[in-house]
Each structure stands twice: as structure tokens, then as C-alpha cells.
Amino acid sequence: MTLLRPLVSRSFLARTDPRVRLTSGLALAILLACLHDPRALSAGAAAMALLCVAGRIPLAPLGRRILRVNLVLLALVPFLLLNPADGPGLLPRWTLSAGQAGIVARVLLKGNAIVLAISALISTIEATALGHALSHLRVPTKLVHLFLFTVRYVDVLHLEHERLRRALRARGFRPRPSPRTWRILGQTAALVLARSVDRADRVLAAMRCRGFQGRFFLLDHFQARRSDAVFALAMASVAALLIWIGRP
Amino acid sequence: MSAPLFVLNDIGFAYGSGRRVLDGASLTLGPGDRVGLTGGNGAGKTTLLHLMVGLHKPDRGRLRAFGQDRVREPDFHAVRLRTGLLFQDPDDQLFSATVGEDVAFGPFNRGWSRDRVAAAVRDTLDRLGLSGYEGRVTHHLSHGEKRLVCLATILAMAPEVLLLDEPTDGLDADHAARLEMILADHPAARIIVSHDADFLARSTTRRLRLAHGRVREG
């Protein structure tokens, strides 16, 4: 398996019911997105960082994630300078006003807190378990199965693509900035697409052979325990605390 | 002799490209029959198996299965529930995220209750030496394991006929021996397509050869 790798945690996080992790992760992410008070946001980021550390999330992939998110957020800063609502005149001022600096700080805090929350609570769920959790949370069956089919076949397609690339390289192909390279890469992509359509036909045939008539089934997988309730309560308390800190 | 399970009479089939694969193929499969089907590449062995469960429709001839003529798509639903077709590529056959769900898919479609499905999944996996595989994620399995799980998905439906397309293809000696043993113990009638003459000699009692669109003895 190469794609769709979850952040592997061997702590209490991994043992918590995926439904609880999914709902608390979503709720906290939405709450953090709605908070404005810098103190509440700092507290939120700190709490989520603490959760990542306590949950023993592997630091290297987490660090890469955080880096990427911050690069995107910083790339957005220049657009703040163009905001005409902040001062008279059409020409941008090339310095940040105090208010703008505050906005930047809040956006960075918010972004990082949300990434940490999602990394600790949602990214630790295995893709398959995530699909099942979604279905138990009454997400429409068709969407859940679309997701599960994607999980099942994204690697198969990826391997097919890798095979084609190896075949190209084995006969001495090296990508260069040339029209020929673009044509060949385009053909490879088209071939992956064509093969996946063929595969979809064969998969449907296999499903019909086992009596498929449009209905899907999932086996039950989860059993909530007392520790899950404790975890949910803890997350709710964090949320309540953040709301209290951020009260107007 | 009891009533045959499948009777194919003078079947013709050509692909959209115009290539005629089957041209007057006839075949009878009775209860307990163990047929080995051979033939060159592109002779139409896979096509013949797919025709039997209605994945292709013949352009001439007559196809009877389980005592009834089968012509249109709805006719084949009942045929498929009683016939287990093993595909060549396990990645085509295993589409669920976990092994347990894949094995449960067919039994659910037979309309069995949740308890009965759960029991069928457990029993089948036990029988194939795959106990504890229920929660395993399908795309983490090795090729040999995928093959055995494919077999589990069709055996869980308690089929009366097995159509196996190159079942030992790409298996190491250990997995091939396990598969052979499982098949030897199963009571269903079967047609096995294979290029492995030794395997066919051990696991089938009658050999047929597909050439020039027709089925011949030997």
C-alpha cells in the first residue's frame, strides 16, 4: 500500500472508536474555524498540540503537514495588502498595519490548530474504518461506497501507472521538456484511464455474478466502550473551555 | 442419470470487433461432473464461462441452466446465485474494503439473514484456513491470499456449480496445494479452465478442449 496511509499512532487514540474521533475532530475543527479571540485560538492550538504529543503522532509526517499548511497560509498574506477596505487609495501599502498583523496571526493560529486537531483525531483513522464510521453516522450509502471503492482501487490504479512508467523507463525513456515527452505522458494517463474503465466493467461483472442488484451491505464493526465515552466527554470539555475563553 | 445442470447447445458468439470466438459450441454439465477445459490463448475459454452466467449473450444456440432456458438478463440472476465464477484477476473480484465484507456480499444478495451471513462468512474462512481474516483490508493481502479470499467469496454462497478461470495462475506451490485440497473436498460440479495439465489431471475426471469455436473431447 502506497497511498492513503494514515498517521499511525499506537496510543489511546488508535483504540478510541473511529466514530467518536471523527465527530469530535470535525466538531473541534469547525469550532476553531469559528473562534476569533486570539487567546482562545492559542489555547486551542496548544490543546491540540498536546493531544498530538499525548497520542504519540509520528513527528516527521506531522511536521511536513504543518509546514505545507503554513506555506499555503503565508502565500495568502500578500493578498491582505491589497485589501482596499483597510485604507484610502488604490495603491497597496507595502507594510502590514496593526490590524492586518493581527489577522495574519489569527489565521496562522487557526490553520495550525485545525491541522493539529485533524491530524490527531481524523488522520489516525484507517481509510476503511473512516468509511464505516461515515456510514454509521448516516452519511448516504452511495457516498460511503464511492469512498470505499476509491480506497479499494486507488492503489490498484497507482500500481498500474507505476507499471507503465517502469515499461517506459525499461526502454530508455527519460522525461524531457519536449512535446514528445508530453505526448507520451498524456498517452500513459489515457491508458491508465482506459484500463480503469475496463476494470470497472469487470468489477461490475464480478458483482453481478454474486447477485448484485443495486444494494450494498456493511458488516457491523464498532462497539463503543466506556473509554470512548470518557474521550468524547474530554473533547467536549476542551470545546466548552475554548468557547468560555473566547466569550465576548 | 439425474438432470443436467447446464446444457449448452450450438452456441455462437462474436465480440463487437467481429472476432468470432464460439461457433457451434456444445457442452453438458451434470451434477458431480469435474470438467477440465483447455485451449489456446484466445480460444474462448473465459468467454464460454462468462456466457454461462450471462455476462455475454450468445448470438445463436440454446443455453439451459438448472432446468430452464436462460435468455435475458433477469433469467440469469438465479443462475448466478447458484453458480460461483472465479475470475482470472483477483483485483476484479474483490471490491470491498475488508475481507469479511467481500465474503458477506454474495450471501447477503441471496437474501440470507444477518446471523446466517455471519455464520457463512466464519465457516467459509475457517474452511479455507483464513480464520481471523474478516477485518483484514483487501488491498494489503498477497496475491495468493487474494486468490483464496476470491474462492471464499464464491464458496460462501454455497454454489452448486463452480466455474474456475485459471484458479492456480500465479500461485506458489503452497497456495496452489491448499486451493487444490479445498476444491477436492467441495461437492459442487465444476468446469476448470487451466493450462496446468498436471493440475487438471489430478482435479478433474473429464477433459474438454476448445478450438475453432467448438468443444471437443480430450
Determine the residue of chain B that is closest to A155 in CA distance: B139
Under an 8 A CB cutoff, do A211 and B110 touch?
Answer: yes
Q: In terms of residues, how long is chain A?
A: 248
- A109 and A40 part of one domain: yes
Q: Are A120 and A55 in contact (CB under 8 A)?
A: yes
- A228 and A109 part of one domain: yes
- A120 and A150 part of one domain: no
Best interface-test mutation with B: which of A1, A4, A219, A220 has the largest number of B CBs within 10 A? A219
Q: A73-82, B4-13, B26-35, B162-171: which range is least confident on average? A: A73-82
Helix (H, G, I), strand (E, B) or coil at B59: coil
Q: What's the rounded Cα separation, in Å, for the pair A25 and A122?
A: 6
Number of A/B CB contacts below 8 angstroms equals 81
Q: What is the value of ipTM here, to two decimals?
A: 0.79
Confidence of residue A92 (pLDDT cuts 50, 70, 90): low
Under an 8 A CB cutoff, do A210 and B80 touch?
Answer: yes
- A19 and A114 part of one domain: yes
- A114 and A194 part of one domain: no
Confidence of residue B212 (pLDDT cuts 50, 70, 90): very high
Average confidence (pLDDT) over A133-154: 88
CA distances for A28 relative to A220, A228, A246, angstroms: 27, 16, 14
Which residues in chain A have Cβ-Cβ distances shorter than 8 Å to B134?
A: 219
Whether A31 is in a domain gets the answer yes
Under an 8 A CB cutoff, do A202 and B157 touch?
Answer: no
Strand residues in B52-127 grouped as ranges (E): 60-65, 68-69, 83-86
- A179 and A228 part of one domain: no
Whether A95 is in a domain gets the answer yes
Which residues in chain B have Cβ-Cβ distances shorter than 8 Å to A199?
A: 91-92
Best interface-test mutation with A: which of B85, B98, B103 has the largest number of A CBs within 10 A? B98
Closest among B90, B85, B86 to B146, alpha carbons compared: B90
Best interface-test mutation with A: which of B95, B105, B113, B162 has the largest number of A CBs within 10 A? B95
Taking the whole predicted model, whether its pTM rises above 0.95 is answered as no
Residue A225 in this model has a pLDDT that exceeds 50:
yes
Whether residue B137 lies within 8 A of chain A, CB to CB, comes out as yes
Range of the domain at A147: 137-209
pLDDT tens string A8-53 = 777 888 888 999 999 999 999 999 999 988 999 999 999 999 999 9
CA distances for B115 relative to A207, A216, B104, B107, B148, angstroms: 22, 17, 11, 11, 23
- A94 and A189 part of one domain: no
Q: Are B210 and B47 in contact (CB under 8 A)?
A: no
Whether A54 is in a domain gets the answer yes
Which residues in chain A have Cβ-Cβ distances shorter than 8 Å to B139?
A: 1, 152, 155-156
Whether A130 is in a domain gets the answer no
Whether A216 is in a domain gets the answer no
- A16 and A69 part of one domain: yes
- A45 and A21 part of one domain: yes
Whether A132 is in a domain gets the answer no
Whether A214 is in a domain gets the answer no
Q: What's the rounded Cα separation, in Å, for the pair A218 and B36?
A: 36
Q: What's the rounded Cα separation, in Å, for the pair B41 and B26?
A: 20
- A113 and A205 part of one domain: no
- A46 and A103 part of one domain: yes
Of the CA atoms within 13 Å of residue B192, those in its CB half-sphere come to 27
Q: What's the rounded Cα separation, in Å, for the pair B218 and B207?
A: 5
What element of type H or E holds B113?
A: none
Tally the domains of chain A.
Answer: 2
Under an 8 A CB cutoff, do B92 and A212 touch?
Answer: no
Confidence of residue A1 (pLDDT cuts 50, 70, 90): very low
> How many other CB atoms sit within 10 Å of the CB of residue B77?
16
- A49 and A107 part of one domain: yes
Residue B88 in this model has a pLDDT that exceeds 70:
yes
Under an 8 A CB cutoff, do A210 and B154 touch?
Answer: yes
Which residues in chain A have Cβ-Cβ distances shorter than 8 Å to B57?
A: none
Whether residue B80 lies within 8 A of chain A, CB to CB, comes out as yes
Cell numbers that stand for B174 in this block: 503452497
